[in-house]
Amino acid sequence: MRNLIPAMILLTCLATNAQEALPYHEIPEASNSFTAGTVAARQIEGLGFRFYWATEGLKDKDFSYKIDAESRSTGETLTHIFDLSQVILSAALKQEHKKVDNSNNAYADIRKQTLLNLKKAADILREADDLSDYNINFGKGKVFPYWNAINGPISDAIWHCGQIASFRRASGNPISSSINHFTGKLKTK
């Protein structure tokens, strides 16, 4: 039993460190300059922060919650945000978007990959001065300028983060009250 306690402490520390390794626990420091790329990156970072906290600590009951039979469940909404993050990342990579099948992935893996997709997209776009080459390309001649990323997948994903926050409040698991969306940090006491 004496050896079990240090092992449990170690596992708890490793689990905590693994969770903290995910991006957007806080929004990174703002850039010193305003360019098209730094503004686009900041939009994605704001989305990442909202997604991180809307999905942090979800329980099994939360994933299946839906407001009515016609709506998406929280889990389906989380998966939809993952799909949107793939569109955002494809545009940042200047690649044709290919839908990724994640039907066999656990929600924790989908959450992690969504956050990593957003981080990678923000990191790429932050270095850009001009976004005119960062198109959304769905293939077969369906190419849209970056403007559509702003009013399309980025705004849509932010909208859905709000839905997840509302759904989890309704299912009895509200988001942390320590979140300050304005500063992108946790409130200090």
| Tens of each residue's pLDDT in the chain, 189 residues | 455 444 444 444 444 444 458 999 999 999 999 999 999 999 999 999 999 999 999 999 999 999 999 999 999 999 999 999 999 999 999 999 999 888 889 999 999 999 999 999 999 999 999 999 999 999 999 999 999 999 999 999 999 999 999 999 999 999 999 999 999 999 876
- Domains and their CATH numbers in the chain: 29-186 (1.20.120.450)
Tokens at residue 5, please?
A: 């306690």
pLDDT at 7 (0 to 100): 41
pTM value surpassing 0.85 = yes
Locate tokens 């990191």: which residue? 123
Return phi, psi of residue 148, to 5°: -70, -25
pLDDT at 16 (0 to 100): 46
pLDDT at 20 (0 to 100): 54
Contacts of residue 75, Cβ cutoff 8 Å, sequence gap at least 6: 63, 64, 107
Tokens at residue 69, please?
A: 């039979």
Residues 91, 121: Cα–Cα separation, whole Å: 8
Whole-number Cα distances in Å, 51 to 13, 17, 81, 179 = 24, 19, 9, 12
Q: Which residues on adjacent β-strands are paired with residue 180? A: 185
Residues 61, 21: Cα–Cα separation, whole Å: 25
